[in-house]
Chains A and B, each alone.
Chain A
Amino acid sequence: MKKWGKAVSFIMAASLVVASLTACSGSGETTADTTAAGETSAAAGTETFLIGGIGPLTGSAASYGISVEQGAWVAIDEINAAGGVKVGDTTYMLDMVFEDDEATEDKAIQAYNTVMDEGAQVIMGAVTSGACIAITPLTLQDGILQITPSGSAEACIANDNAFRICFSDPEQGRAMADYAIDSLGYTKIAVLYNNSDEYSTGLQTAFEEEVKAKGGEIVASESFGADDVDFNTQLSSIRSTDAEVIYVPAYYQAATYISNQAKEMGMEIPFIGSDGWDGVLGTVTDASTVEGAIFSSPFCASVDDERVQNFVKAYGEANDGAVPDQFAADAYDTVYTIKAAMEQAGSIESEDMIAAMTEITVNGLTGDAITFDASGAAEKDVRFVEIVDGAYQYREE
C-alpha cells in the first residue's frame, strides 16, 4: 500500500506472467489449429508431419544451428514440391519448428519441450553433442524418434530411439589416423586441438590412440581454449619438434586463425583436419594459407556432383547466396532419412519409424548409400577432401 516502487516491480512481474500465459495459450491454439486443419484436410488425403528441430540459433555456436535449420528447409521444400511423403493412403506435407538451445544443455531441455508443445512428431537434433545428450533421456521417455544431424559424441545415440547422420568422433579420429599413416605416409604427427570442446577432444583422443597403435608418433599435443584467436605459442612449440604434419581437429574458425598464423610464422608443415574444416575457404583471407590441407569430410560444396550442386543452388537461393556447409548437408540428409523411415514403416508413429530405421538406405549428400545399424550410427564411407588451387576436391583413393 505504501511501497509504490515495489508495486511497479510487481506490475512488471505480473504483466510478464500474463504475457507468458498468453504466449502459452497462443501456442496451444496454434497446435489446435494445425490439428483441426489436419483433420479437415485428411478427407483430401494430405496431412502435415511436423519435424521438431533443436539447435543453437544464438550464442557462439549459432552458425551451426542456423546451417542445420536452413539445410533442413531446403530438403523440406524439395520434398513438398515433389508431392510430399506418401504413407499408405495419406500424403504428408513436411513442416518444421526449430527452437534455439544456445548450444547449452539446460536450454536444450526447454527447446525440446517447446517443440513437443508445438506438436513435433520427430526430433531433428540437437545440433551440438552436449545439448543432444541432455535431451536423450526425454526423447526416450516420450518414445519419439530422434535423429541428430551432427551430435557426434558417442553418448548421443546411447538410446534405441536415437540415430545420427554424421560420424562419431572416435570413428572419424581413427579414420583420419589410418589415412594419415597408411595413405599419406606420415609417422611423426603433431596435434593441436580445442580442449574446451567435446568434439575436438573426442577426435584428438581417438586419433592419438590410433596413431600410437599403428606405430606412429605423436610428437606434440597442444591445446587451446574456446575463444582463443592467437596460436603462435602452440605453433612455435610444434615448430621446435620434428613434426611432419599437424592434425587440427577443430572447426573452421580456429583452422582459419591457425593456418593464417602458421603461414605468417613461415611454417611449412602441412595440415590435416576434421570435418569441422569444411567452410574454411569462406573465412580465410588468403586461400594459400590452407593450400594442400587434407581433412576428413562427408560433404564438400564445390564438388562436381549433380545432387550436391542442386543443393548448393537451392540453398544459395533461399539464403542470399550463402554456401552450405557440412551441417546443412547433414540436416538435408536427416530430413530425407525421416522421409525414408516414414515410407519404410508405412506409418508416422515413432515406434514403427524407429523399427524401420535399420532397414532403410538413404542416398544422401554426405554418403552414397547411408544405412543405420542397431546402435544408431550411420554407416557410410569416410571421404577425404584436399584443398587444391583454392578449391575443395575429393581425394582419389
Chain B
Amino acid sequence: MSLITGILEQLINGLRTGSIYALIAIGYTMVYGIAKMINFAHGDIIMVGAYSLYVFTAILELPAAAAVILTVAVCAALGIVVERIAYKPLRNAPSLAVLITAIGVSYFLQNTALLIFKATPIPFGSIINISGIRLGNINISGVTLVTFVATAVMMVGLTLFVNKTRAGSAMRAVSEDRGAASLMGINVNKTISMTFAIGSALAAVAGILYICQYQSLQPTLGALPGIKAFVAAVLGGIGNIPGAMLGGLLLGIIESLSRAYISTQLADAIVYGVLVIVLLVRPSGLLGKQKTEKV
C-alpha cells in the first residue's frame, strides 16, 4: 500500500473516532457554555444511553426507532433529574463544589450500572444496518457514515437553535449574565433545565452511535470518551459549539496519526501535549473568545 493511501486511511480512522468525540463534546460544551460548569457526569450519561438502548431493544424487544426515541427521552429526563437534585442547590456555590458533585454523580451512575448489569461486558449488535462504502482499499462502515452525518447535523442544528430561536436566545442570555437574564423575565431555572435536557439527549445519541460502533457494553464505557471529549471541547474553545466539533475531529486525527506514524506508546502524551501547546498559544482554545478580565 502506498504511503498516500496509508495516510488517507489513517485520516479516515481519525475522523471515525473524532466524530464520536465531537458528538460528545458538543453536548459537553453546550452545558458548560450555559450552566458554566464542567459536567463530569456527561460521559456516564452516554453509558446510561447505551444501556437503555440495550434494555429497550435486546430485553424489551422494541423496534429500533421506538428504542432510540425512548433512549433519548430517558437520558433527557435523567439530565433534568440530576440537575435538579445535585446541581441546582449549588447554583451559587464555588465552581469547584459543583465539579466535585459532578464527579460524585459520575461515580453514582457508574456504580449503579455495575450493580444492575455487573462488570462482564455485554455484547450488543448494531441496530444500524446500512452497508458501508469502499473507496479503493479503504472501507468506511455504515455506522461511521451515520456518525459523521449525525455529528454534522447536530452541530448545525444546535448552532441554529442557540442562535435563532427564542429559547436559544434565553440560553445565551443566561450564559452572559444570569442576574440580568432573570430581570428580563427569563426563567433561569427552566432554561438551565432545558440545557441539561438537550445536553443529555445529545449524550444519548452519542451513546447510541457509540454502542453501534463498538458493540460491547461496560459500566465504565463512558469514562474515557468523556475525558477525551472534554479535552476536545477545551481544544476547540469550551462553550463554542463549532469549536467542539473541530476539537473532536482534530483530536481523533492527531490520535490516529501519532499512533500510526510516531509511537503508539506515546499517543496519549502527544494528544495532551498538543492541547497544552494550543492553550498556551490561544488560552481560550481554537475558536474560543478571548476575554480580558475586568476589575
Question: Is there a direct interface between A and B, measured as CB atoms under 8 Å apart in the complex?
Answer: yes
* Partner-B contacts on A (CB < 8 A): 58, 60, 62-63, 66, 195, 222-225, 227-230, 232-234, 236-237, 239-240, 253, 256-257, 260, 264-266, 282-286, 322
CB A282 to nearest CB in B, in angstroms, measures 7
The answer to whether B283 has its CB under 8 Å from any CB of chain A is: no
Residues of B with C-beta under 8 A to A228: 224
The answer to whether B259 has its CB under 8 Å from any CB of chain A is: yes
Binds A, one of B74-82, B93-101, B156-164, B211-219: B211-219
Cβ of B268 and Cβ of A225 under 8 Å apart? yes
Instruction: Return 9 A-B CB contacts under 8 Å, by A number.
Output: A63-B118, A229-B221, A232-B16, A233-B260, A236-B9, A237-B10, A237-B259, A282-B123, A283-B123
Cβ of A63 and Cβ of B120 under 8 Å apart? yes
Contacts of B200-225 to chain A: CB distance below 8 A: 214-216, 218, 220-221, 223-224
Residues of A with C-beta under 8 A to B214: 229-230, 257, 260
Cβ of A223 and Cβ of B264 under 8 Å apart? yes
Cβ of B264 and Cβ of A234 under 8 Å apart? yes
Cβ of B10 and Cβ of A63 under 8 Å apart? no
- Indicate the member of B6, B17, B118, B121 with the most A CB atoms within 10 Å: B121
CB A287 to nearest CB in B, in angstroms, measures 10
CB < 8 Å neighbour of A236 from B10, B120, B126, B221: B10
Residues of A with C-beta under 8 A to B14: 233
- Find the A residue at minimum CB distance from B125: A285
Cβ of A283 and Cβ of B121 under 8 Å apart? yes
CB < 8 Å neighbour of A230 from B1, B17, B123, B126: B17
Q: A227-B224, A230-B16 are in contact. Are A256 and B123 (CB under 8 A)?
A: yes
Cβ of A223 and Cβ of B265 under 8 Å apart? yes
CA distance A219 to B16 in the complex (A): 26
Residues of A with C-beta under 8 A to B123: 256, 282-285
- Indicate the member of A66, A224, A240, A260 with the most B CB atoms within 10 Å: A240
CA distance A222 to B10 in the complex (A): 14
Residues of B with C-beta under 8 A to A225: 267-268
Residues of A with C-beta under 8 A to B216: 229, 253, 256-257, 283, 285
Residues of A with C-beta under 8 A to B118: 63, 66
The answer to whether B191 has its CB under 8 Å from any CB of chain A is: no
CB B70 to nearest CB in A, in angstroms, measures 21
- Find the A residue at minimum CB distance from B227: A227
Residues of B with C-beta under 8 A to A227: 220, 223-224
The answer to whether B284 has its CB under 8 Å from any CB of chain A is: no
Cβ of B1 and Cβ of A233 under 8 Å apart? no
- Find the B residue at minimum CB distance from A323: B120
CB A257 to nearest CB in B, in angstroms, measures 6
Q: A195-B264, A256-B121, A264-B139 are in contact. Are A233 and B256 (CB under 8 A)?
A: yes
Residues of B with C-beta under 8 A to A285: 123-126, 215-216
- Indicate the member of A234, A253, A265 with the most B CB atoms within 10 Å: A265
The answer to whether B119 has its CB under 8 Å from any CB of chain A is: yes
- Indicate the member of B111, B118, B214, B216 with the most A CB atoms within 10 Å: B216
The answer to whether B141 has its CB under 8 Å from any CB of chain A is: yes
The answer to whether B13 has its CB under 8 Å from any CB of chain A is: yes
- Find the B residue at minimum CB distance from A67: B120
CB < 8 Å neighbour of B114 from A62, A223, A264: A62
CB B117 to nearest CB in A, in angstroms, measures 12
For B53-69 the 0/1 string (1 means CB < 8 A from A) is 00000000000000000
Cβ of A240 and Cβ of B16 under 8 Å apart? no
Residues of B with C-beta under 8 A to A232: 13, 16-17, 256
Cβ of A233 and Cβ of B259 under 8 Å apart? yes
CA distance A187 to B139 in the complex (A): 28
Closest 4 CB pairs of A and B: A62-B119, A232-B13, A227-B224, A285-B125
Cβ of B259 and Cβ of A234 under 8 Å apart? yes
CB B23 to nearest CB in A, in angstroms, measures 14
Contacts of B82-117 to chain A: CB distance below 8 A: 111, 114
Q: A227-B224, A253-B216 are in contact. Are A236 and B260 (CB under 8 A)?
A: yes
Residues of B with C-beta under 8 A to A229: 214, 216, 221, 224
Additional A-B contact list (15), CB under 8 Å, known A62-B119, A195-B264, A239-B1: A58-B111, A66-B118, A66-B119, A66-B120, A222-B259, A230-B17, A233-B256, A236-B6, A237-B10, A253-B121, A282-B120, A283-B123, A285-B123, A285-B124, A285-B215
Cβ of B6 and Cβ of A240 under 8 Å apart? yes
Residues of A with C-beta under 8 A to B224: 227-229
CB B218 to nearest CB in A, in angstroms, measures 7
CA distance A227 to B183 in the complex (A): 47
CB A62 to nearest CB in B, in angstroms, measures 4
Residues of A with C-beta under 8 A to B218: 253
- Find the A residue at minimum CB distance from B143: A264
CB < 8 Å neighbour of A60 from B126, B141, B220: B220
Residues of A with C-beta under 8 A to B17: 230, 232
CB B253 to nearest CB in A, in angstroms, measures 10
Cβ of A260 and Cβ of B215 under 8 Å apart? yes
CA distance A229 to B214 in the complex (A): 7
CA distance A99 to B17 in the complex (A): 38
- Find the B residue at minimum CB distance from A64: B119
Residues of B with C-beta under 8 A to A257: 214, 216
CB B129 to nearest CB in A, in angstroms, measures 13
CA distance A291 to B119 in the complex (A): 25
CB A136 to nearest CB in B, in angstroms, measures 26
CA distance A239 to B223 in the complex (A): 30
CA distance A239 to B118 in the complex (A): 35
CB B288 to nearest CB in A, in angstroms, measures 27
